[in-house]
A and B are shown apart, each in its own frame.
Chain A
Amino acid sequence: MTAAVEAVDVRRSYQLDGLAVEALRGVSLRIDPGEHVAVIGPSGSGKSTLMHLLGCLDRPTSGTLLVGGRDVSTMTDAELAELRNRTIGFVFQSFQLLGRTSALDNVGLPLVYRGNRKAERRQRAAAALEAVGLGHRLGHLPGQLSGGEQQRVAIARALVTEPSVLLADEPTGNLDTRSGAEVMRLLARLNADRGVAVVVVTHDPEVAAMTRRRIGVRDGLVEYDRPEVAG
């Protein structure tokens, strides 16, 4: 089976004021289609950098990164953009919805870059919103929705392209406990029902506990990688 995402000895360093800072110092991991994973680590551990790499928003300084079996290092920016559009769905801590745009059109946004027509975009966006339980909020603007609802709109937007991997960066970070738990349950359900691999990046062990596999990251290295204890 081809891995959904696979990293082999991936390193990423930044130049900060002339100093090279290594955010990732040789990470290898493999995420298969349909997996439900948490990447857990304290701030500064390199987990955000890892998420950006897995999401093709960035390229590794060295090492091999395969997304859907394709080597990211050989791809152009435009090819990466298309890869993101087709295979990755993003969910951000701060939702990142366009404020003056309805829930329906927010969800349809990724399809704009696929060249889909408006009617098709709206139809698919409506179906995605239905799937996250917001079928009654299509015309609402983000400001008219609660935090939990906004994050569900963002999840619908990540799903609308039918990606193979859904990357969620601290998806519960801006939510109260109840909404956060709801969002995590939704992600788990989508993972189970649709077979989309879900990768949740978090610093919160309680959130991580709601996934089936946990990858601990610390100081730019994978500290541990363990499946849920059976039973």
Chain B
Amino acid sequence: MRAGEAFRVALDALRANRLRSALTMLGVVIGVAAVVILVALGSGAKQEVEDQVEGLGSNIIIVVPGKFEFGSAPSVSRLTLDDVDLLGRVVGDRDRVAVSVASGETVNVGRRESFVTVNGVNESVPNVFNRPLARGDYITATDVDTRRRVVVLGSSVVRRLFRDVDPLGRQLSIAGVRFRVIGVFAKVGSTFGVDRDAEVHIPVTAAQRLFGVDRIDALAVKAPTADSVAALQPKLVAALADRYEGEEFSAVTQTQILGTIGRILGLLTLVLSAIAAISLLVGGVGVSNIMLVSVRERTREIGLRKALGARQRDILLQFLIEAVLLCVVGGLLGIGVGVGSSYLVAALSPLPAVIAWWSPVVAFGVSAAVGIFFGVAPARRAGRLDPVVALRSE
């Protein structure tokens, strides 16, 4: 028998039981769509976090007290502003060292108030991080040295507190202390629905007085070149370990952060797709089940075909193609539904979704494989039927 003929016969059989074929296919459609959607959401999350980390700037090394690990309790910081000079000497340029001490505070203008992240920083932040201003100026070395009460606002803070009024030169209160607005950041956007523009920067010295602390939370160093990052990393840690005996410090690079996040999100994606794959498996079992029913129903037809000269192989091929056709058509529909839903989710919810080129390809391959895997047993059963027995069956 020609392969084209076997294909036509299989297609005819599927058409003969339209509803049954459609329902069987539905199992595969749902399974494949689920895999495509969850992979898209996983890749989307990963992509977004990566963009964000890479968007910070390049060649950045973050120095924090204690061990840098996701999930470990933050250590109490003993870092101080003097460490800027220390690390500046290691890097060879004090302007490449930024600091941060942060706290959540209420800010208000008149009766309008908002809860934002207040970040105490030094003047080097623009040298280290990629954080452009929309208007005005950033904090200067003089602002830091003289503990001047000036503030640079994130765009959503401006929108909430000043509405349409130009905020430059105006006053706002942070935890009851008045600050003058000197600049506004360009809009960054949000990640997973979290607004990244609800942030204000003030001089680190002013922040320490405001929060009642003399520590800083973290330092950030910009290495001069990408190649120097690796060499610089242990030197920074060593310099701090020298100063604070018995304390532990960590220096992590963007690559390391990306690696860690990538592993976590990769694992998450894997777990989600594995759960989705179970539904694909169930769809495959459905195909197998319906093929067994189909073989039983058509026992006499199989007997007849064998009497007329069909070989075991011909019958096997006919039923295998039928199963694969169910899965492949179901798979294609599933990819369509999955890709469509992913874009819909991305458009209508804060969850990002990215369709990696390989995910529909793999989904298609897997559904074809499911068809073969779950089609072989019923098809073999059909092929092996004894024509005498088959012809007699009712």
Chain A residues in the interface with B (C-beta under 8 A): 52, 55, 57-58, 77-78, 81-82, 84-86, 90, 92, 96, 98, 100, 109-110, 112-115, 117, 157, 161
Contacts and interface: CB of A to CB of B under 8 A. Distances in A.
- Contact-residue bracket for chain B: 20 to 34
B49 to A, nearest CB: 56
Contacts of B1: 112-113, 115
B112 interface: no
A102 to B, nearest CB: 12
Given A112-B5, A113-B1, A115-B2, A81 B311 contact: yes
B387 interface: yes
B186 interface: no
Given A115-B1, A115-B2, A57 B387 contact: yes
Nearest to B390: A57
B22 interface: no
Interface string B3-18: 0010001001000100
B3 to A, nearest CB: 10
A92 B391 contact: yes
Contact of A114 (B9, B304, B306, B309): B309
A142 B310 CA distance: 21
A100 B309 contact: no
A223 B391 CA distance: 27
10 contacts: A57-B388, A77-B311, A78-B311, A78-B312, A78-B313, A81-B311, A84-B307, A85-B308, A98-B304, A113-B310
Nearest to A80: B311
Nearest to B8: A118
B310 A96 contact: no
Nearest to B6: A112
A188 B339 CA distance: 65
Given A57-B388, A58-B388, A100-B12, A110 B309 contact: yes
Contacts of B311: 77-78, 81-82, 113
B301 interface: yes
A114 B309 CA distance: 8
Nearest to A89: B308
Nearest to A101: B12
Nearest to B9: A112
A171 B254 CA distance: 84
B95 interface: no
A100 B306 CA distance: 18
A109 B2 contact: no
Contacts of B12: 100
B300 interface: yes
Nearest to B303: A96
B304 A96 contact: yes
Contacts of A112: 1-2, 5, 9
B314 interface: yes
A55 B386 CA distance: 13
B253 to A, nearest CB: 66
Contacts of A109: 305, 308
Contacts of B386: 58
B309 A113 contact: yes
A55 B312 CA distance: 17
A144 to B, nearest CB: 17
Contacts of B308: 84-85, 90, 109-110, 113, 157
Given A77-B312, A112-B1, A96 B388 contact: no
A34 B307 CA distance: 22
Given A57-B306, A114-B309, 10 more contacts: A78-B312, A86-B309, A98-B301, A109-B308, A112-B2, A113-B1, A113-B308, A113-B310, A115-B1, A115-B2
Contacts of A110: 308-309
A55 B387 CA distance: 11
Given A58-B388, A112-B5, A113-B1, A81 B306 contact: yes
Contacts of B9: 112
B387 A85 contact: no
B149 to A, nearest CB: 87
Centre residue among A77, A109, A113, A157 by max chain B CB count within 10 A:
A113
Interface string B285-316: 00000000000000011001111111111100
